[in-house]
Chain A
Amino acid sequence: MPTLKVIDNRALSDDTYILRTERPLASIKAGQCFSLGTSDLGINREYSMYSSAKDSYVDFMIRKVPEGRVSNKLSTLCSGDEIQLSGPYGEFCLPEDEIQTSTYLFIASGTGIAPFHSFVLSHPLLNYRIIHGVRFENETYDKEAYSRDRYVPCISQPNTRNYGQRVTDFLLKNSFATDTKVYLCGNRNMIVDAIEILRTKGFSGDSIFTEAFF
């Protein structure tokens, strides 16, 4: 398995971090994922790329999963450590010929925002809106990467007196043009619930694209 060096490991919170590695030689598209592991683990896991496809490094946004061997091990890596990385894999990407003309709605839960962060950095002229479901305010990581009017955090357990809002609440309350291309990434249950709402709002299966995390 190709072995590369870790460049940086930036903690975002107690359980979430950005792991930066050297860039492999392969051609990479925003939205693709890589398989990550270390030589002593004997197992690996797939993570979506968080950085721009044009960067000289590759970033991954990773949440430590309780009992998760790989996510916990990777969290301990420091600059200069070796990491095994293969890929890229997957087709959860924006078709090049549609990027200039399409309107996009990106719906994410938690670290499911990773491919959308990569889309936005890779395609600066993108016409998009991001709905990001998180539990707490401090989980809206790197929100400055998006224009303020394009990023909608849906915080289910806010610290303030505000009422919590889930992604599905926001979808129910708002209207969207049905020619919008909708990309969903993250928790499977969120994806299922969101698609059901989108269906009632007139979206067909042809304009919905999903990548479930598990």
Chain B
Amino acid sequence: MSADPAGAYAATLSRFADRLFRSGGSDPGDAALEIPAERLEVYRELVRRGYTSMLRFAYPMSFRLIAAEITTSDPAPGLPSSVDAVIARFLEDSPAANHSTRHIADAFRTHFDREQGPLLARRPELADLMTLERAALGALYAFDDPGRSPGGDELAALQASAVPDFLALRVCRAPSSTTLRLAHEATRLHHRLAHRDVPEPGAHAAPERVVVSRDPASLEARFTTLDEAPFRAVLAVPPGAETSVEALAAAWLEDLPEADARRDEAWQLTTLAGAVLTGLHAGWFRLP
């Protein structure tokens, strides 16, 4: 049993925390702590730096876009003055409750959507980019998926297999994978930013269907954009679930848009097989 921490001890830590998360320089409240103002400022800087480092890790291209937008925009009401100011505002408003990168990333996203409206209005694609990067963070560190990913030779054999054999194949959906319907082409945006090419505001305002998964070989996150029909083949298997390709086909056909449902069987079979094989290669499907 811990000693009862109530009293002076708890009050000391609370008082320190109250001042620690403030920004905007010293104020009379700092003096009540009875520690040198410049030393409190060192702690504030370290906390800000720690959070910045974790958030830049979680949202690398989003922060690149935020920084570019802040730097190039004319000063406007409601826009932060710097990335540092974005982080400081987050810390003042609602810092994370624990040190987990994913928890910090989620707490920041909630805060950002609520508090950085002017920035999001200038860059509406930022919201989708952050959603994409959060899914990538999840893929990178998710629990190890059940089953296994086939090697190149096995994939080639599957591709060449007879239809009945392929339909009998069992696959499972990797829990590390995420399906996203986005209002912007966030993967293209991500790619351009990674090459330090900052698009004009409003660029890539076309919808995108993305599967974010963990690459079986490198274990890095990867993005695959899909048309509606193969995307629905992924959606037909919930993360963690196992099924046969035949059962997957039945569920998929049931849910196909009318235009695709009217297409011939060869197209349907090829589309489904393509989605399964791509998924096995990209890591969103695995063999049990």
Q: Bound pair: A and B?
A: no
> Which residues on A are within 8 Å of B, measured CB to CB?
none
> Which residues on B are within 8 Å of A, measured CB to CB?
none
